[in-house]
Amino acid sequence: LLAGGAKTLANVHRINILKALKVRPMCNQELSELLGLSAATVSQHMSCLIADGFVTTSKRGNWVDYSLQAENLAVFWENVRAALL
C-alpha cells in the first residue's frame, strides 16, 4: 500500500494535479488547460490517483469533476510516518 501510493505520488504531473484540486474540484479539460497537458495524459494520471484513493469523481451533467481526497492523503502520510519513523 505504501509503495503503491509512493509510486503514484512520485510523478510531478500528479503532484501538480493534486495541488490544483486543492483549490477546487475540476474537470479533465480544466486540468488539461491549467497544466498544459493533453486530456488523454490527464486521464491516465487520474486513473492512478483514483485507484489509490487520492482523488474521487462526481458527475456534473456531461462532465466528470475530480476532487481531492485530503483525508486519504493525510492517512497515507500518517502511515508513511508510522512505518518509517
Q: What is the pLDDT of residues 20-35, one digit of tens each?
A: 999 999 999 999 999 9
pLDDT score, position 81: 95
Q: What values do phi and psi take at 10, rounded to 5?
A: -85, 5
Q: What is the pLDDT of residues 43-76, one digit of tens each?
A: 999 999 999 999 999 998 999 999 999 999 999 9
- What's the sign of the alpha-carbon dihedral 24, 27, 32, 33? negative
Answer yes or no: is pLDDT of 40 > 80. Answer: yes
Locus of grid cell 494535479: 17
The grid cell for 26 is 475540476
pLDDT score, position 45: 98
pLDDT score, position 53: 96
Compute CA distances 6 → 9, 21, 28, 68, 81, whole Å: 5, 19, 23, 17, 12
